[in-house]
Structure 1
Amino acid sequence: MKKLRLATLWLDGCSGCHMSILDMDERLLDLAASVEFVYSPLVDVKDFPEAVDVACVEGAVSSAEDERKLQTVRQRSTLLIALGDCAVTGNIPAMRNILGADKILQAVYVDQQPLGAQIPATELPILNDKALPLHHFVTVDLFIPGCPPAAETLFAALSALVAGKTAELRLDTRFGA
């Protein structure tokens, strides 16, 4: 039996969704017979591979680099999952949209520095004007809300995908939990 090629990616978020993946605990071993993690912050792979079956993307798109990564993931993946509230709605990263990227960068990276400290401009992140959810940039095939989604929800989703039950996949999810 061919293993499902699974990738996970973390954009502008807190990594809580990846912690929920780890919270599957021994159920990860159950999935290991059917799933191969081909890319993730949890494994040591540097470049996003070709021919990924399922990509779970956590976080909002907040920079040109995030957008580039997301475009690559979409091109190389059969099924793309927006994983967690940040990927689905923008959530916490999108809160900066009210003030704008320049004001946030000034307040966080410049105004908060100890007296006399200088940060070279090249080290500051180049942010988009707004942090936006994934579907503003690419087609998303499945949305799994939650902040973060429960490990049980992720296990149910991945198990259904492994079993080829995508069409009837119904998840017990809600925003913020």
Structure 2
Amino acid sequence: MKKITIATDWLDGCSGCHMSILDMDERLVELIKMGVELNATPITDFKEPTEEVDIGILEGAVSTDHHIEVVKNMRNKCKILVAIGDCAVFGGIVTMRNYFPVEELLRRGYIETESTVDGKIPTSPEIGKHTKLVKAVNQIVKVDFYIPGCPPRADAIYYVLRELVEGRKPLLVGDLLRYD
């Protein structure tokens, strides 16, 4: 049986989409029995795909130059790219930042809050520099499939992954697009 490799990563968001992946519960085992191998995920703590993968999954919006690198790297290393969750698909709630200058938001969030003592805006190569605007993944690279929702239902994620693993194109309709 040929292994189907999957890598996931998250950008700017709450990690709720990865919680929905975990909510697939025993269906994760079913996918593994179908030949799925998790190459890189926050669950395995590998920071990026170590090699080419069949399916790449991105959660979260693009809001730093580091995120742009992560998105381009995932696109280059995967055959099929899936944007999962409203932040990756549409930009989500994170795009509310687009109404204000980045410097103003950072100053307010890290220096001027009522509870902050000796505030400092964090800087780190791991965080990266904030982009002027927050964007959805497809505004940076080509996305092959979308799983909307905040967070998306585990049933929808499982359906899309199963269809892709079995060589079919998923079509999300009906109850798979219902949010509880």
Q: Please report the TM-score for the alignment, with normalisation by the length of structure 1.
A: 0.91
Aligned twin of 1:162: 165
Number of matched pairs: 175
| Superposition RMSD in Å | 1.9
- For residue 130 of structure 1, give the secondary structure of its aligned residue in structure 2: strand
Partner of 1:49: 50
Alignment of 1:20-99 (within 5 A): 20-33=20-33, 34-99=35-100
Question: Equivalent pairs: percent with the same residue?
Answer: 39
Matched, 1:145 2:148: yes
Deviations 1:127-148 (A, max 9, x none): 1011100111101111111111
Structure 2's unaligned 5+ residue stretches are none
> After superposition, what is the alpha-carbon deviation per residue over 1:42-67, rounded to whole angstroms, capped at 9, x for unaligned?
11324422211000100010000000
Secondary structure of the equivalent of 1:122? coil
Separation in 1, partners of 2:24, 2:84: 15
Structure 1 residues 175 and 126, CA gap change in structure 2 (3 angstroms): farther
**1:28 shift after superposition:** 0.8
Verify: 1:133 aligned to 2:130, yes or no. Answer: no
TM-score, length-scaled by structure 2:
0.90
Q: Contact (CA 8 Å) 2:17, 2:84: kept in 1 or not?
A: yes
Paired residue for 1:4? 4
C-alpha deviation, 1:114, in angstroms: 4.4
Secondary structure (helix, strand or coil) at the match of 1:5 reads strand
Contact 2:156–2:177 under 8 Å retained in 1: no
> How far apart are residue 31 of structure 1 and its match?
0.7
- Checking the alignment, whether the CA contact within 8 Å between 1:64 and 1:128 is kept in structure 2 is yes
Q: 1:119 to 1:161 in 2, by over 3 A?
A: same
Cα distance change of structure 1 residues 115 and 45 upon mapping to structure 2, 3 Å threshold: closer
1:81-137: CA deviations, max 9, x gaps? 111100011011111101121121111111116465142653586210111001111
Do residues 17 (structure 1) and 17 (structure 2) align? yes
- Give 3-state SS (helix, strand or coil) of 1:48's partner: coil
User: What is the alpha-carbon distance in structure 2 between the residues aligned to residue 88 and residue 71 of structure 1?
Assistant: 16
In structure 2, C-alpha distance between the alignment counterparts of 1:89 and 1:175, rounded to whole Å: 17
Aligned counterparts of 1:144 and 1:42: Cα–Cα separation in 2: 20
Instruction: Supply the distance in 2 between the matched residues of 1:136 and 1:22 (Cα, whole angstroms).
Output: 27
Q: In 2 relative to 1, CA 175–81 (structure 1 residues): closer, same or farther, beyond 3 Å?
A: farther
Give 3-state SS (helix, strand or coil) of 2:87's partner: helix
CA distance in 1, matches of 2:3, 2:74: 19
